[in-house]
Structure 1
Amino acid sequence: MTSTQNIEQQGVAPVSSEAAVNLPLWKQDGAEPFLQIENVTKNFGEFTAVDNISLDIYKNELFCLLGGSGSGKSTLLRMLAGFESPTSGRIIVDGVDMAAIPPWKRPINMMFQSYALFPHLSVEQNVAFGLKREGLHRAEVKQRVAQMLDMVQLGHLGKRKPNQLSGGQRQRVALARSLVKRPKLLLLDEPLGALDKKLREETQFELINIQEELGVTFVVVTHDQEEAMTLATRIGVMNHGVIVQTAEPHDVYEYPNSRFVAEFVGSVNLFEGRVIEDQPDSVRIKSKDAGGVLYVNHGISCAPNQKVHVALRPEKARISKQKPDQIENCIKGIVEEIAYMGSLSVYRVRLSSGKEVRITQPNITRGTGERLTWNDEVYLFWDVDSSVVLTS
């Protein structure tokens, strides 16, 4: 049983029918998925790129497939688009099995990482290209292109060529071209990967606003954890062709279901130990890494004396030269490294066990309060609900 499951089983009042209407579709009983991926596998010879994945995505979601290189996320996206055929399994969009439907007839469009704009065509002509191939009347093409360019704030640049635009502007042209045909489902493969950090952060919110305004279901592939956390209604974390956890961004970060997810999504400190006390609503772990006993206020399902890991995010702990009053979840070490990052400071602390721990603290005030420096002896301490026990 994961920590999230245990929390859900505690005494929570039932949700009223009125409140249930406001729940996202994936939390509503009986809600019909818009996209159904049923036991999909993709083999390339003896190599399995996607391994028996089943996943439901709901209408108007902005769903992110998050994983490292070779995790299978792009292969899964290409199967949704129809560029690859599953070795086994089914893909159903809006109640229709896609098996016999070629890519150009699917109610799906795909935006590639490279943007794939035609360099000899203007912005307007790039966006209009797909509509003209469908044989739409010239007046409708003009009206839809103008509407879409206004939505992505490029109406004043319609006559320019792609090489006269910035990277962020080219990204928005590609997005407009993908959406102008009004697909039911838009697939985005690393859509912001070519942008610099500041522009990527700005464009993330533009992408969310456009998706909400149009109501199109988005499936985004990314390797960037921060991007997935910002964009997604839900995240599917992929590893070796398998989705290892599907949850809302908050739950993926706060309640990872495995060491892989905890380490892949954000930064984390992991303390190995063995369970010495297992209660329905709490657990104690004796950890050589931490040099003592760690207490967590949620139960787990495990065998006596089982080896587990306690996951602690760097921002969840406090650091001080003064010994706190609490006994449990309090460890001592020496400051080895300090990085001042402006809004926060990062401390690397070496424990007596030899383990290095990373702690981040916000710089709320300017030059006041306790100052820490290299080689200081410090205490690290945290609340009983700040860490999570992982059994896998």
Structure 2
Amino acid sequence: MSAFPNTSTVQTQSVPTWRQKDAKPFVQIEQITKQFGQFTAVNSVSLDIYRNELFCLLGGSGSGKSTLLRMLAGFEEPTSGRILIDGVDMTGIPPWERPVNMMFQSYALFPHLSVEANVAFGLKREGLKSAEVNKRVAEILGMVQLGHLAKRKPHMLSGGQRQRVALARSLVKRPKLLLLDEPLGALDKKLREETQFELMRLQDELGITFIVVTHDQEEAMTLATRIGVMNNGDIVQTAEPHEVYEYPQNRFVAEFIGNVNLFDGTVIDDERDTTSMRSADIDGLLQVDHGISCAPNQDVSVAIRPEKIRISREPIDLEVNATTGVISDVAYMGSQSIFKVRLNSGKEIRITQPNVSREMGNRLTWEDRVFLSWDADSCVVLVA
């Protein structure tokens, strides 16, 4: 039987913790600001993270995500604000006294120690008896499927195996909170994808709250129960992955997460159930299936994901959400094809289609005149 408490409930609850009205946050970040001289790296961020979440902080270089993680670990002191973990204020508490462990991108394994000695190092420093150390090390190496490599040195392991040793070393001390800074960045694409699912399995089995920092949108979408998107020191949206992708709250999130087409338009009719906009980009009307509560004649952007757009050589008899153009570029990606289409207005947009047939046949190609359309519920209006 595992010595780790199997308290994970995120995947089994009918209602996730963060949606429960009376749920108590496990990590509370309250108005945290971090300044380095005149530069503000983190700007008055407030965030609640719940027990057993696998939460991702997602952002580009300089967005503030790693600085926020280091403040959680105690490696940086906030300029203002406070952090609570499991109800305890962490102000003034040094890293080694926090119920937190951190896994770095570099792994930082001791090259002269075996796998099991690397994993056992922290436990021995705490003065645990040999029997307890051996028990915990064997258990965690079994969980990360490295028990058969316990006697090897790090240089004898693959990159993915070294990553799992570092993860085992971080978990063996049973922290309440595990912080992971770009944990999969050193792995190749295929191994990174495999390891993402391994990380999710371990987090679910152990019931430990994970906070992962990454710049990789696909990684965050795969791993996270929720994502906090950061930009210039601010968290600009916090939501579940599908919500961040399908309902971005602003133009930055829409463009940062995946691929998106943005059409500029001017509102001409804003009703409770529909909003209509005239757009020079498509030389016609855009329509969404919801109102947006905006001023008359307000300029907005309409976001449409590439996979939501239908493409055909046949003309389309639609008065809204339709346009035409010429294919300017094609990329065959195996499971899907990507088309770039130059509209009559000169704007170039991106469309993706699944390759459901093995035959090339009469597929669309360069310089084809095509007709495009999409549904009103595929659009999101962005006013910021």
> Following TM superposition, by how much is the alpha carbon of 1:83 offset from its aligned partner in structure 2, in angstroms?
0.1
Alignment of 1:252-331 (within 5 A): 252-331=244-323
C-alpha RMSD of matched pairs (Å)? 1.1
Which residue pairs with 2:338 in the alignment? 346
Counterpart CA distance in 2 for 1:80 and 1:179 is 17
Task: Report runs of 4+ in structure 1 exceeding 2 Å deviation.
Answer: 324-327
Residue 87 of structure 1 pairs with residue 79 of structure 2: yes
SS at 1:63 equivalent: strand
Alpha-carbon offset, residue 369 of structure 1: 6.6
Question: Where in structure 2 are the equivalents of 1:52-201 lying within 5 Å?
Answer: 52-201=44-193
Q: Distance in 2 between matches of 1:149 and 1:26?
A: 31
Q: Could you list the per-position Cα deviations for residues 278-331 of structure 1 after superposition, in whole angstroms to 9, with x for gaps in the alignment?
A: 011210111111211111101112111111000000000010010123331110
Q: Which moved more, 1:266-275 or 1:325-334?
A: 325-334
The one-letter code of the counterpart of 2:311 is I
SS where residue 230 of structure 2 aligns? Answer: strand
- One-letter amino acid matched to 1:254: E
Structure 1 residues 260 and 134 mapped into 2: Cα distance closer, same or farther (>3 Å)? same
Distance 1:339 1:310 in 2: 25
Query: Is residue 2:309 matched to residue 1:356?
Result: no
Normalised by the length of structure 1, the TM-score is 0.94
Output the amino acid matched with 1:298: H
Match of 1:375 in 2: 367
1:370 shift after superposition = 4.6
Please tell me whether residue 33 in structure 1 is matched to residue 19 in structure 2: no
Cα shift at 1:372: 1.0
State the Cα deviation string for residues 187-227 of structure 1 (Å, max 9, x = none): 00000000000000000000000000000000000000000
Residue by residue over 1:317-358, the C-alpha shift from the partner in whole angstroms, topping out at 9 and shown as x without a partner, is 010010123331110000010001111000000011110010
Indicate the percent of aligned positions where both proteins have the same amino acid: 72
Aligned equivalents of 2:132, 2:361: Cα separation in 1: 64
The amino acid of 2:288's aligned partner reads V
d(CA) in 2 for partners of 1:64, 1:291: 40
How many residues align structurally? 373
The AA in structure 1 aligned to 2:375 is D
Offset of 1:22 from its aligned partner? 2.4
Tell me which amino acid in the other structure corresponds to 1:80: L
Deviations 1:354-377 (CA, angstroms, capped at 9, x unpaired): 100100000011226752111111
Conservation of the 8 A alpha-carbon contact between 2:315 and 2:371: yes
User: Unaligned 5+ residue runs, structure 2?
Assistant: 1-11
Q: Write the distance in 2 (CA, Å) between the matches of 1:372 and 1:365.
A: 13
On the 8 A contact 2:285/2:319 being kept in 1, the answer is no
Other-structure match for 2:6: none
Q: Partner of 1:221 in structure 2?
A: 213
Q: Is contact 2:119-2:172 (8 Å) kept? A: yes
CA distance in 2, matches of 1:55, 1:370: 52
The one-letter amino acid of 2:59's match is G
Q: Which residue of 1 aligns with 2:15?
A: 23
Q: Deviations over 1:20-66 (max 9, x none)?
A: 96211110011100000000000000000000000000000000000
Q: Tell me, in whole angstroms, the C-alpha distance in 2 between the residues paired with 1:66 and 1:323.
A: 41
Query: What TM-score, normalized by structure 2, do the two folds share?
Result: 0.96
Task: Structure 1: state its 5+ residue gaps.
Answer: 1-19
Verify: 1:237 aligned to 2:224, yes or no: no
Task: Give me the whole-angstrom Cα distance separating, in 2, the residues matched to 1:366 and 1:132.
Answer: 58
